[in-house]
Structure 1
Amino acid sequence: MPSVISAIVVDELIRNGVQWFVYCPGSRNGPLGFELARRARAGEINLQVRLDERSAAFVALGITKATGIPAAVVTTSGTAVSNLLPAVTEANYSDLPLVLVTANRPPDVLGTGASQTVDQTALLASQVRHVQQLWSGDSSGATANGVLRSQVCRALGIGTGRLVGRPGPVQLDVPLSSGLPPQPETSSPAGRPGGTPWIAMPEIPRSQHPDATEIDLRRPTLVIAGDGADPAALPAHLPCMAEPTVEVGDRRRLHPWVLDQVRPEQVVVYGRPTLHRNVGRVLARPGVRSVLVAGGGDWLYAAPDIEVLSRNPRWTGAASPVWIEELERADTIVRDAWTRTMTEPANRRTGVGVAHAALNALRPGDLLWLGASNAIRDVSLTGLVPPGVQVLSNRGVAGIDGNVSAATGVALANPDRTVVALLGDLTFAYDASGLQTGRLERMPANLIIVVSNDSGGGIFELLEQGDARYKREPYGDTFERIYGTPQNIDIAHLCSAYDVAHATVEIDDLPATLGRARTAQRLSVLEIPVTRTALRDVHAGTRQAAEEAFDATAVSAMNLELELHS
């Protein structure tokens, strides 16, 4: 019976630690929906109903990312399943144990051309760790109960990384004979006593590699920590260039431009550094020993210039105070240059100005969600994340899709924290449907979305395509059409349609406006109009100022050395 199968599947997912379910309405998955609603009424799970499967999957992804606990998205059959692909791809490359529960037509009609019959087990196969089509025969016996529950346990064991390889998304495809509601007198076979999983899984295995890779800190060593890096694994007391999503604790976080100024003998990479091109340049320098610290069953970051792959680095020696002083001096020079840049009103009216203002408006305990393209890079360049603020972002494939929805999931999973999402206008517009919340669902009232509206794709202004020569003849308006792509969207009216609060804000007023939004307890969008045409000049001017400061410091050091030897 569909209701019995659904009850067994939901119960075993709960026993395996799933606490959040994001449900998309449909007929075929109706029995799953009834069971989820029943368990939610009993206070056993958190349930969010979302209309759009693409958005729902990103909501579940945001919940998984924020909590570290697998969340499940539940869909009906047919094209509903294909809409999960963008979020599943992000979960795959971010090693997130997202659970996909996809209702399907019964096996006797699959492959017959019946309505809504597609090969759902193949749709997502390239991006999931495991696809399990659950047995859907006679559900009344103990054997059927054990088979279904063991299949769920195996899928969750693979998804969480307890059985093999890295954690990641898994799909449970559930063929159901109908979408009929359950009969009141129907009961499902019980699971193990005490609410435990049907199969007790081992803890997530720790890498055991006795062949440690020795890394001598007496050699000038540069540590780079990209998304996914384990902060606890970083060498203590050594400054590191860490991306915003990596917490560094008491270590000094080096500005990315420091990489252009120092000459390390060895570079050690953790996680997947994807924000700054100079990471690749420093790894490619002749004579630099490059070490990738990787874990799990796959490389987290595979640069072509990596020389050594290690899962068990062993730090020896102590970093020279002179080397640490050089790193910190370079960091101070670059950050001072950016501070001076941000004092100019014209420079503040850019995306980097919005990032700088947003950082200054954050409070300890806040959770910052950063959109793709420029938003996360602007935060990395213009300032430091305040202590006590957690930073999350979709960095698996770093797409602009699903950012509103993922931030919504983060906010739903953290109702007692203010979640500030910093997005560009295109990233916001791409996932504007993520603002949609049913009238019977809990609104993420603690979510404040700051939209840096530069009327287009600001990231391309900073890339090769943004060179001024490509904006002149014979290219004409080609850059603006295929890269700038300004949209004819009134964000205020869009927010009104979704019953979301909106305010147009000047950059200097952002801290006060954000403070008022905190107390309003309503999903809010703060739109800040800025320019993107000045971005290239802002970056070039700041870099020139930093270079001049480095030159002046070098001259001073040379003069001092001459005086000492005179």
Structure 2
Amino acid sequence: MTPSSALAVVLVDELVRNGVRDVVLCPGSRSAPLAYAVLDAERSRRIRLHVRVDERSAGFLALGLALASGSPVAVVTTSGTAVANLHPAVLEAHHAGVPLLVVSADRPHELRGTGANQTTAQPGLFGSAVRWSADLPAPVIRPGLPPFWRSTVCRAVAAALGTVGTAGSPGALPGPVHLNVSLREPLVPDAVASRWPDSLDGRPDDAPWVSVTARAAQPAGPDLPALERTLVVVGRTRDPRVAERAVAWAAERGHPVVAEPFGPRSVRSAALPHGPLVLTATDWVERHLPDRVLVVGRVTLSRAVAALLRRPGVRVEVVSEGGPWPDPSHVAAAVHPPSVLASASGGVADHGPAVPSSTAADPRGSASHLGAWAQGWRRAGQALADAVAAEPFPWPSGLAVGGAVAASLPPDALLVLGSSNPVRDLDLAAPGPVAGDALANRGLAGIDGMVSTAVGAALAAPGRPAYALVGDLTFLHDANGLLVGPDEPTPDLTVVVVNDDGGGIFTTLEPGAPERAADFERVFGTPTGTDLAALCRAHGIRHDRADDRDEFAAALAARPAGIRVVEVRVDRASHRRAHAELRALAARTLLD
């Protein structure tokens, strides 16, 4: 099967699995693979096909079918002006709330902007009139079909239906979506007849790649199906209460929890000690794989967590707060609203006050009812915590700074975490909670604006000790955040800067491999040699350098008063070795 035919067959197959029963097709050359695919689907009695030669009429025909049935209907066109002729129907669907799926064929990306025939900028053509859109690149077939082909269709249908978890808040309005599909020659099937892919990675043959559950009408939604070997992974949630109720839900059912270091203190308190580090012991994880991983919030920090979610045979389900559900690897089998996290004791994910971080009950108290598998995860976390405590991280190192921050901050502290290496060092080094609340800009996880973000967070929490943990490039990128006018309120904030003179995170990634050392410093290491003390003096900001553990502990122990910068200098070359040694310690500790 040619790459374009394979993509077309998969997309049409997934449309059917998501409930599409009518497809309106307009003739065209670039859309030929889609035409053959919908024709095969009609012959298999999986859809009803309607062919029209005028795209404007075709759009309104699809609109009428969807308006009367309430089901999503697809209209398929070729490239160029054919797509633009659907605009009137798209606008009507937008304002009337009708689930219309526009599937437009397009030329390959490399032909855009070159004067190629029938080639224009089709992505974004409908502007704000569509609920959601995607621009699929021209396919290249490798072993196995890319899962994002299927999950993209699932997102499109969910958005068209206004299913909460994709299109927004409760009662989100259905409407049009746009799937723009680039197709490269050959555009007709080869000698082997098209057939429906017979493998969905172990999923039911008639089920969509992702099953999306709408937000429950009642405050308490249905409980999730029971699976004893369930691991709950908690990332950053927009509403901290969702994360808190996720760990409470897990504790009631005896499920172990791995949590990133964001959100309320109670969440990390309830999680496995050194949970992200446990996941780096891949041999141990292979012998103790969960049947299901329930992901709550966006998981953006740990490669080990991402690797677990991609493990064959592990069912991944997502709890989404609304908007596009988090699933960057396109592995989710089901998406649920937060109402599924209703607790047996009556707590609900969407209603009622949040449990304050400082007074939340520790769900680990219910560990007595854990099954043998879950107890194995708990023992692994504790064994690793004991092993790490017995071998303190060398000073100075990023891991030592991260561990000290986690151990030294007062329980009511507010901690703002910058992106890049420091937050990862803290995540790996800290066995448990790191502060009363840990905040971060994880929407895009950039290094820009972090000093100003920390200043704003500190000003929003007067009376609470506020801290920030950032790297030197993150600090320098927003040095203007130190500019506070004489008539402006000044926060009480201690900014810890791990200064490794450049892009330390790259030493832990592929560009930092020893065999690539010749090119590293210029384009990845990027040392600046900036004198941070002089920079702080220029802004009238107190600067202290902590050259040993005791000096650093004393700096953290002093309650923040005004803006203060505490600098710890670290050898950038030490990061890669330190992380490798920590992973080796985890692997040795968890041999069984």
Q: TM-score interval w.r.t. the shorter chain? A: 0.5 to 0.7
Contact 1:408 1:447 in 2 (8 A): yes
Q: Partner residue of 1:244?
A: 261
Q: 1:287 aligned to 310, 313, 318, which one?
A: 313
Alpha-carbon distance, 1:495 to partner: 0.5
Matched residue SS, 2:380: helix
Alpha-carbon distance, 1:386 to partner: 4.4
- Once the two structures are superposed, the pairs formed by residues 371-390 of structure 1 within 5 Å of their partners are 371-386=418-433, 389-390=436-437
One-letter amino acid matched to 1:448:
T
Counterparts of 1:485 and 1:164, CA distance in 2: 46
- Once the two structures are superposed, the pairs formed by residues 124-523 of structure 1 within 5 Å of their partners are 207-208=216-217, 212=222, 214-218=224-228, 220-228=229-237, 230-234=243-247, 235-237=249-251, 238-247=255-264, 248-249=266-267, 251-254=270-273, 255-259=275-279, 260=282, 261=285, 262-311=288-337, 312-313=339-340, 320-343=370-393, 347-386=394-433, 389-444=436-491, 446-471=492-517, 476=518, 478-508=519-549, 509-516=551-558, 518=559, 521-523=561-563
Alpha-carbon distance, 1:303 to partner: 3.1
Counterparts of 1:207 and 1:437, CA distance in 2: 47
Residue by residue over 1:218-244, the C-alpha shift from the partner in whole angstroms, topping out at 9 and shown as x without a partner, is: 2x1111011115321332423311111
Is the deviation greater in 390-399 or in 504-513? 504-513
Contact 1:224 1:267 in 2 (8 A): yes
Contact 1:354 1:507 in 2 (8 A): no
Alpha-carbon distance, 1:537 to partner: 1.2
Counterparts of 2:534 and 2:420, CA distance in 1: 25
Contact 2:415 2:435 in 1 (8 A): no
Residue by residue over 1:341-365, the C-alpha shift from the partner in whole angstroms, topping out at 9 and shown as x without a partner, is: 425xxx2311111111222221121
Could you say if the C-alpha distance between residues 337 and 455 of structure 1 is closer, same or farther in structure 2, counting changes exceeding 3 Å? farther
Could you say if the C-alpha distance between residues 433 and 207 of structure 1 is closer, same or farther in structure 2, counting changes exceeding 3 Å? farther
One-letter amino acid matched to 2:225:
I
Residue by residue over 1:368-422, the C-alpha shift from the partner in whole angstroms, topping out at 9 and shown as x without a partner, is: 1111011211111101454762111111100000100000001111120111101
Counterparts of 1:316 and 1:449, CA distance in 2: 39
Counterparts of 1:297 and 1:213, CA distance in 2: 22
Q: Which has the higher contact order (CA 8 A, sep 6+)?
A: 1
Alpha-carbon distance, 1:339 to partner: 2.6
Residue by residue over 1:75-100, the C-alpha shift from the partner in whole angstroms, topping out at 9 and shown as x without a partner, is: xxxxxxxxxxxxxxxxxxxxxxxxxx
Could you say if the C-alpha distance between residues 531 and 337 of structure 1 is closer, same or farther in structure 2, counting changes exceeding 3 Å? farther
Contact 2:227 2:292 in 1 (8 A): no
Could you say if the C-alpha distance between residues 163 and 441 of structure 1 is closer, same or farther in structure 2, counting changes exceeding 3 Å? farther
Matched residue SS, 1:433: helix
Matched residue SS, 2:507: helix
Counterparts of 2:389 and 2:533, CA distance in 1: 32
Q: Partner residue of 2:589?
A: 549
One-letter amino acid matched to 2:313:
G
Alpha-carbon distance, 1:309 to partner: 1.4
Could you say if the C-alpha distance between residues 538 and 455 of structure 1 is closer, same or farther in structure 2, counting changes exceeding 3 Å? same
Counterparts of 1:285 and 1:496, CA distance in 2: 51
Could you say if the C-alpha distance between residues 162 and 310 of structure 1 is closer, same or farther in structure 2, counting changes exceeding 3 Å? closer
Could you say if the C-alpha distance between residues 529 and 306 of structure 1 is closer, same or farther in structure 2, counting changes exceeding 3 Å? same
Alpha-carbon distance, 1:543 to partner: 1.6
Contact 2:405 2:434 in 1 (8 A): no
Unaligned runs of 5+ in 2: 1-123, 132-167, 174-213, 345-366
Alpha-carbon distance, 1:507 to partner: 3.7
Contact 1:420 1:449 in 2 (8 A): yes
Could you say if the C-alpha distance between residues 385 and 428 of structure 1 is closer, same or farther in structure 2, counting changes exceeding 3 Å? farther
Percentage of pairs with the same residue: 36
Could you say if the C-alpha distance between residues 387 and 266 of structure 1 is closer, same or farther in structure 2, counting changes exceeding 3 Å? same
Q: TM-score, normalized by length of structure 1?
A: 0.57
What is the aligned residue count?
Answer: 347
Residue by residue over 1:264-316, the C-alpha shift from the partner in whole angstroms, topping out at 9 and shown as x without a partner, is: 11111010111111222212222211111112233144431111112253789
Q: Partner residue of 1:199?
A: none
Contact 1:353 1:507 in 2 (8 A): no
Matched residue SS, 1:230: helix
Counterparts of 1:358 and 1:388, CA distance in 2: 9
Alpha-carbon distance, 1:217 to partner: 3.8
Q: TM-score, normalized by length of structure 2?
A: 0.54
Counterparts of 1:291 and 1:405, CA distance in 2: 36
Alpha-carbon distance, 1:246 to partner: 3.4
Unaligned runs of 5+ in 1: 1-121, 130-159, 166-204, 555-566
Alpha-carbon distance, 1:505 to partner: 1.0
One-letter amino acid matched to 1:214:
L
Counterparts of 2:221 and 2:486, CA distance in 1: 58
Counterparts of 2:571 and 2:435, CA distance in 1: 31
Residue by residue over 1:510-559, the C-alpha shift from the partner in whole angstroms, topping out at 9 and shown as x without a partner, is: 1112333x26x2210011111121111111112222222222xx2xxxxx
Alpha-carbon distance, 1:467 to partner: 0.7
